[in-house]
Amino acid sequence: MNFFRIPQPKAFILLLAFAPLVSAQPAAAPVPANSPPPYLDEASSQAVVVGANVAFSIPPDLSPGATYQWFFNGQPLTDGANISGAKSYKLSLANVQLTNDGVYTAKSGTNGGVDSGPAVLAVSATPPPDQPTGIPEKIFDVSGYNAVGDGATDNTAAIQAAINAAHAAGGGVVRISPSGLTSPSSPAVFLSGPLTLYSKINFRIESDTVLRLLPRSSFGERGAGSAMISASNASDLIISGHGTIDGQGADWWAAYRASGAARPYLIRLNSCSRVLVEDVSMKDSPMFHLAFSGNGSNLTALGLTVTAPGNSPNTDAIDPSGHDIYIAHCNLSIGDDNIAIKGSSVHCANITVTNCTFGAGHGLSIGGQTNAGVENLVATNCTFNGTTSGIRLKADPTQGGLTQNISYSNMTMTNVQYPIVLYSYYIRVGNPGVASGSNYITPARAAHDNASILADGFAAFFTNSGGTVRNRQANAYSVWKNISFSNITSTNGKGYNVIWGLPGYLVENVTFNNCQFSGDYGFEVYDATNVQFTGNTTVTANKSAPFIVGYPAGDADANNVTNSLVISSQPASQTVKAGDGVEFSVTAFASPAATYQWLKNGTPIAGATEAKLKIAKAQAADAADYSVTVTNAIGAATSSSAKLTIGK
């Protein structure tokens, strides 16, 4: 099949068009704000708000009898409603809705068809972060700077020369691709060392192309934080294409295990703004794969595939830092955190994670450094399969801060060892969900660790279980509050779910609504208040009690620490006939012991101070909303309301 390029038409918002044939030409007019990058060889992913108009394109096949078919999540599309061009090289979607969110592909050609790379359409109810804008369309193909995709030539200087030329020209598309306009039978492999990107660059790695890090023997020793691809304080920057970035990490991992040798990241973008990383595959980074570090803003990651062996050290997939961050439709399976939001030195806020798939790894994490704070995270519609941890919030007294207003919803976890872990003992304990061994957090162990901290007054040093002593940063206490989980389903979990704060710095206001947890072990809750299980939430534990809350009676350490307040079962609404008896009840786990006060339409009921409320003969005047406030020495929690309806 012969592909030909046509001159790019004037771009309009969210329209994908074609790149021109010539590699060196006058720059076109800037792309309007919030438009996608200029089209080259594949349809590109997009993040849009509900109501936008969207178009995807592939190169037109000018062969006689050529056909086209677009697909949505693997199913063929037909014209109608808001869809047109389902059998054309250009697919148009008008007034997109949340139901249009997904993956679009196309098949074209006369001999069995050629599949395009997947293009993600991420649709959100609120506008996504600002997208890169004003990137000139002039193409700087690295082959024009003597780069060779033979898998042997060091192309560092050639690729950097193309980047520098684009930078000197005011920006452009730096293109790494197989030679000419046709694809070879096997991928073109371009070896390279460290590369530096600048503002208004679209660094594009096309299909059938691999950008591979030089072997460790050629790359040389570099300090922590160096990277194969880096940028600092850049704006309007894109890394795109359906090619692969390969870190060749095996030798680096071996050297790290042997001697702690420093390792580079694959991509590190420091304090950059209006950044889009889309469609590329990343694999086997020596260390972190994609790090948005520093005080970045308006950062988008769409349709990424990131893979590394499950035992590869510190190979985080995506580590975002900054504010206004959007991560969607990414497939992440690595050896450490799949996503780790690190508010270590920069306050992190306004982050969305949606429609992502998590394989091997340590899950969707916040921390272990939260000194500057993390807030306003919305994570939804994600799946976890075989992940070590599902949702993991971690810090400790050496590197803690305020984490608040966090929402997780519509998630499915299968064979996740520790579905939910939220704790303030990261350095000392590592992963607290185990059911045996030195890190098994029994009530006595929790009491002991808390008491030891209180005994030294949160001293200037903190020692982990391996004996490492770390300096504690001033006021670096971890605080977790206002965290919600809804419609979470976890099956076949193998370890405990853990919620564990610090004495005096309790976990506060955690809600599980309509969640189902089934596995070997239930929940351990220590140093947390107003933890509530609401709606149709169930906890099924095969080898433990569903809830372990409180320190052992008579334990000496328990006299020195505060503990927890959990409502595990809410009052249920009822409809009865006049004259029938009614009983409302609540199940609470509290340490120290709790008192109860029932409320009718928010007003305390005199004498109603037990875990159960009984109405002997309900009358019309008893129809109301009933709730109960459970109080102990560390706080109070008010249950959900239960409605009493008096029928005839």
Do 44 and 16 contact (CB within 8 A), yes or no? Answer: yes
Eight-state DSSP code of residue 502: B
User: Six-digit token pair at 61?
Assistant: 């096949």
Q: How far apart are CA 249 and CA 242, in angstroms?
A: 21
Residue 195 φ then ψ, to 5°: -125, 145
Other Cβ atoms within 10 Å of 19 Cβ, number: 23
**Which region holds residue 146: left if phi is over 0, alpha if psi is between -120 and 50, else beta?**
left
Other Cβ atoms within 10 Å of 320 Cβ, number: 23
347 is catalytic: no
Do 134 and 273 contact (CB within 8 A), yes or no? Answer: no
Do 199 and 237 contact (CB within 8 A), yes or no? Answer: yes
Do 610 and 596 contact (CB within 8 A), yes or no? Answer: yes
Q: How far apart are CA 357 and CA 326, in angstroms?
A: 15
Other Cβ atoms within 10 Å of 51 Cβ, number: 11
Do 432 and 423 contact (CB within 8 A), yes or no? Answer: yes
Other Cβ atoms within 10 Å of 135 Cβ, number: 26
150 is catalytic: no
Do 342 and 316 contact (CB within 8 A), yes or no? Answer: no
Annotated catalytic residue within 316, 336, 449, 557? 336
Q: How far apart are CA 204 and CA 36, in angstroms?
A: 13
Do 236 and 146 contact (CB within 8 A), yes or no? Answer: no
Q: How far apart are CA 389 and CA 327, in angstroms?
A: 19
Annotated catalytic residue within 362, 396, 449, 527? 362
Q: How far apart are CA 478 and CA 379, in angstroms?
A: 21
Q: What is the DSSP pairing of strand 54-57 with strand 90-93?
A: antiparallel
Beta strands per DSSP E along 19-167: 46-49, 54-57, 67-72, 75-76, 83-84, 90-93, 102-109, 114-115, 119-124, 139-141, 150-154
Q: How far is CA 368 from CA 580, 611, 642, in A?
A: 54, 38, 39
Helical H runs in 192-324?
216-219, 250-259
DSSP helix/strand/coil, 48: strand
Residues whose CB is less than 8 angstroms from the CB of residue 121 and which lie 6 or more positions away in sequence, other chains included: 45, 46, 48, 54, 56, 93, 96, 100, 101, 102, 103, 104
Which secondary-structure segment (H or E) carries 429? Answer: helix 426-429
Active site residues: 336, 362
